[in-house]
Structures are given as C-alpha cells and as structure tokens.
Amino acid sequence: MHALALVAVVVALSSIAVHQKPEAVAETADWLARQIDQRDTGRDSRLDMVMRVFDRHGRVRQRALTVTGLKETGTRGDRVLVRFTAPNDIKGTGLLVWEHPAAEDERFLYLPALGRVRRIAGTEKQESFVGSDLSYEDIGGRDLADYSYALAQRDATWTGPDGRAYPAWHLESTVIDKSATHPRTVSVVRKDNFMIVSAEVFNRRNERDKRLDVRRIERIEGIWTAMDVVMVNDAQKTRTELAVISARYNTGLSEADFSRRALEQGDK
C-alpha cells in the first residue's frame, strides 16, 4: 500500500492521476484514504531528482539520485529503488523497499564502501535516511490498516504555486501503534485530484516536528507529479528539498529490476 499521510508526494510514488468522484459518494475519512491509496501512478515510474539537505546553519549538501517504482500486482506489493548518482562520497548508495500487503515491509540498504546489502530492521525505520529529514519509513509506503482516519476539515482551500485557491480536505491520520515517534499527521488533500499537497507531522507531545509542502506540480504523461517538495524539521531546524529533473512512467520495468542483486549491482 502507498503512504497516505506523509510521503505520498515525497519520493518515487509522489505522482497522482485525476479521479472522477462517484455520484452521491459518502465522503468519509476512510473513503478519502482509499482514494489516495488507490491512485493511478502508472505501472512503473522513473524519476531523476536532486536532493538538497540544509543543516541548522543553512549549509547545504547537494545530491543527485534516481528513484524507480513498480506498482503492486496480485499478492506482491509495490517496489521502490532509490539510487544516488552523485557526489562521489554517496554515489552508488541505494535503498530498496519491498512492500507487502499482508506483512511487514522489507527495506535493504546498499553501501558501496562496505560492498554488501544490509537489511533495515523495523526498529530503525524511523531513523534519518542518509542524513536527510526523511526517515527510512518515509521511503515507500505504509499500510492503510496501520492508521485510523478523521476528516479534520471538509471544506478547506489550498493555495497552489500558481496562486489559485483549490478546494481541499484536511485529513488526520493517527498511527495505531502507540509506540510510534510521530503518531499523528494532518494532510491537506486537493479535491480535484486526491493529491496530498502539504502535511504536518506531530510527535507524542502533540508538537509539530515536521512539515511537508509541495511547491510545484506538473502533469506528466497524464499523471500529476510533485516536482518540487520541501520537508522542514522544526525540531532540528533543518530542511530537505527534493526537485524532480525528469519523470517517466510505464517504461517497462520488471520485478527483476527491484531484486537485491539489482540493488547491489546497480552502481557498477
């Protein structure tokens, strides 16, 4: 299942197709969660991106990466592969995510310096991914059943990068797991395309720790794509920016492109 609350727009699965709202539909929170989760992102995707990581003093590290994704089929969940291509100190580093509809997702990290693949344990999934403001859990998706949902606001508006005001919902997602570091997220969802365009992430003290904003959107090959996204960490006073340089969909990727062997050999 795709992420609902936070990173539906952050990395590989950041795009969303337009859905037509059925007549006389009951617009419940669970219904909205399903619409976001079931969006059309193509059979597969390839995004070339630039990541800029800013520390609390405003110093920046820039990285280039490619993110590929494969849509779930049958009993197999989505696949996501993140590969860094520059600079040299991170080139070849990769993260592979296997989502499982009825089991715990699996995440594998490849570090060229060590020359091996390491499985990311469940206890590590909320740790920082390569020093950014994204966690390992933010890469890939989260199961709908892991959350409960409420419509915090039914008739909100969101002001887009073009200055226009778009009708939106405010959807509150609460993690069922009481030990979660960030138990609650409030997302702004556009009504015309079910796209998450901003989100606020709260800690156990109900303080906002992170906020996500989409700063540019384009429709590519019929699919709405978040082209410029920023994640701000209020607690650490840092931020991570992600900009899409190019996006392609339905390119013919297969499950073999998302194997552990592909992760390990991808930088060669």
Q: Per the structure block, which two tokens stand in for 196?
A: 């998450």
Q: Give just the sign of the alpha carbon dihedral 256, 258, 259, 262.
A: positive
147 vs 165: CA distance, rounded Å: 29
Q: Per the structure block, which two tokens stand in for 110?
A: 């490849």
CA distances from 94 to 40, 78, 130, 233, 255 (A): 25, 17, 10, 23, 17
The vertex-51 CA angle with 53 and 77, nearest 5°, equals: 120
Burial class (CB within 10 angstroms; exposed 0-12, middle 13-18, buried 19+) of 85: middle
**What's the pLDDT score for residue 24?**
53
Check: CB of residue 141 under 8 Å from CB of residue 121. Answer: no
pLDDT averaged over consecutive 10-residue blocks of the chain (268 residues)? Answer: 37 38 71 86 92 97 95 82 95 93 88 90 84 85 82 95 94 90 93 92 94 92 92 95 96 94 78
232 vs 74: CA distance, rounded Å: 36
**What's the pLDDT score for residue 267?**
55
Number of C-beta neighbours around residue 126 at 10 A:
13
**What's the pLDDT score for residue 81?**
95
**What's the pLDDT score for residue 266?**
66
Tell me the pTM: 0.86
**262: DSSP letter:** H
Residue 183's SS3 state is coil
| Helices H / strands E in the chain, number of each | 2, 14
10 vs 7: CA distance, rounded Å: 5
Ramachandran class of 257: left when φ > 0, alpha when ψ lies in -120 to 50, beta otherwise: alpha
- End-to-end alpha-carbon separation of the chain, Å? 31
